[in-house]
Structure 1
Amino acid sequence: FIPMMELIDREKELARLNKELTKAEKELGMFTNQLNNPKFVEKAPAKLVEETRAKLAAAQEKTAKIKESIAALG
């Protein structure tokens, strides 16, 4: 058994995770804005709208996982 905290640089890992979180939240905002735009939802092909919804769900999941990782290190 090797403690993980001894294998990683906590500050570097937190910085990396915060950078990833910022990027994921930006993507989340972009997809949310697209789907909240009635013109996009009405005029875009149904396949594109569904793909955007799937990307939104993935971004939400990624954001949640990053936040969990940050909390575990904190």
Structure 2
Amino acid sequence: MARVASGMHLLQSGVPLEIIRDFLGHVDVKTTEIYARANLEMKRKALEKAVDGTLLPKIPSWQQNKSLLEWLHSL
């Protein structure tokens, strides 16, 4: 279990899989890739970055169109 924790910590620190493979003594990097698939914390952080609002405008563009809003209100 300590090796699993070490592998995960190395991956979270940004160490390339090839180096982690060598550190853990894996013959094939595919074995080491299990750590990348299992690392839910990294996935959670990536999702948070994707939805933190920096990728999307704060106000939808249609709400910034005053003439469109006036027309919608007139309906």
TM-score by length of 2: 0.31
Greater Cα radius of gyration, structure 1 or 2: 2
